Amino acid sequence: MDSLLQVRNLTKKFGENTILDGISLDVSQGEVVVLVGPSGCGKSTLLRCMNGLEPIQGGEILLDGQKIEKGSKELTKIRQKIGMVFQSYDLFPHLKVLDNITLAPIKVQKRDKQDAEKEARELLVRVGLEDKADSYPRELSGGQKQRVAIVRALIMQPEVMLFDEVTAALDPEMVREVLDVILQLARQGKTMVIVTHEMAFAQAIADRILFLEGGHIQEDSDPDTFFTNPKTERAKQFLQMFTFEK
């Protein structure tokens, strides 16, 4: 399989602190890669680098062979091929749900307004929010906001979707409705890179699990192997944090 997204020897520092130390990875078309690891291991930073939100100190990131680099002129073009959903509800508070979704297709991709709105409404039906098109973000629950944020990214028809701990700020009963939408996307063959703390979800959705720690990818395996028989001691310790014994 051709790799869609390539990370080559990526180094990322915050000041003197090396967060990512020569990371390389490939994401193929249609693949769902889940990044796990302890807090502060740099998994969110890696995701943010993939969208050019962070300057990098070494290596390169390529999407379709095009370089992703903060500050480059081509960046806004490449970013249209990358959909990103953040942990914080980042809808635009002054715009109605429908306008949140159609802003980028109309202004960035210069699509016809009616055409974009029609598609936005169809996508809202798919995430069960067809009746919220004319609401403001403040009238939605956290889970509903995240589903709108997913739709807002999807309407750009991105080649890859990045999810940065999208359920971490949600009440437990709302986690499910958001994860179901992501599962639905996986079934449709969307290429995705997901950072999550939901281990059951990671196991269910991933084609590949990457375990990140100390700025390195410690383990790169299929989910069954990773969760039942992790290779490294560190991964074992990490997974033990999620199990309870009486």
Structure tokens at 88: 């914080």
104 contacts another protein (rule: CB under 8 A) = yes
86 contacts another protein (rule: CB under 8 A) = yes
* Nearer residue to another protein within complex by CB, 54 or 219: 54
Q: Which residues contact 227 (CB under 8 A, 6 or more apart)?
A: 199, 203, 209, 239
Name the minimum Å distance from CB 143 to another protein.
18
CA-CA distance, 158 to 145, in Å (whole number)?
A: 20
The only residue of 9, 60, 77, 237 in contact with another protein, by rule CB under 8 A:
77
CA-CA distance, 106 to 111, in Å (whole number)?
A: 5
Question: Residue 228: is it exposed, middle or buried by C-beta count within 10 angstroms (0-12/13-18/19+)?
Answer: exposed
Name the minimum Å distance from CB 234 to another protein.
31
Distance of CA 103 to the CA centre of its chain: 20
Q: Which stretch binds another protein (CB under 8 A): 33-41, 76-84, 112-120, 165-173?
A: 76-84
156 contacts another protein (rule: CB under 8 A) = yes
Contacting positions for another protein (CB under 8 A): 51-53, 76-77, 79-80, 82-84, 86, 88, 90, 92-94, 103-104, 107-108, 136, 138, 149, 152-153, 156
